[in-house]
Amino acid sequence: MNTLIAVAIAPFGIGDELSSEVAEVVKVIRESGLPNRTTSMFTEIEGPWDEVMQVVKDATFALANKGIRTEVVLKADIRPGFTNMMNRKVQKLNEILGEEN
């Protein structure tokens, strides 16, 4: 079943600058082969539920396996019969607002 998630995976309690650790997480997500997009606060991943959740697990454990306390914030949209929602949702809003995609 197609699933679109927004996930933030970050180390907890190791200082103010976290970009190196977050980059490790994003690398795992990008190497998964699933459609994904990273913004300043979340990374979206889309695909079958089991595959998406495996990527979330793998990305989380990229830090946790190093003994780093890791925080995960996740929001999921499971919409049967729909695909490419990562792009289609934004396109629909832009159409309503009269903006180009």
Calculate mean pLDDT across residues 78-90. 93
Structural domain harbouring 48: 2-96
Tokens standing for 71? 């925080």
* Residue 15 pLDDT greater than 80, yes or no: no
Are the C-beta atoms of 28 and 64 separated by less than 8 Å? no
Q: What's the rounded Cα separation, in Å, for the pair 28 and 90?
A: 25
Q: What's the rounded Cα separation, in Å, for the pair 69 and 72?
A: 10
- Which residues are bridge partners to 36 per DSSP? 45
The answer to whether position 101 is within a domain reads no
Q: What's the rounded Cα separation, in Å, for the pair 37 and 31?
A: 12
Calculate mean pLDDT across residues 8-29. 90
The answer to whether position 45 is within a domain reads yes
- What is the CATH number for 14? 3.30.70.930
In one-letter notation, the amino acid at residue 34 is L
Tally of domains in the chain: 1
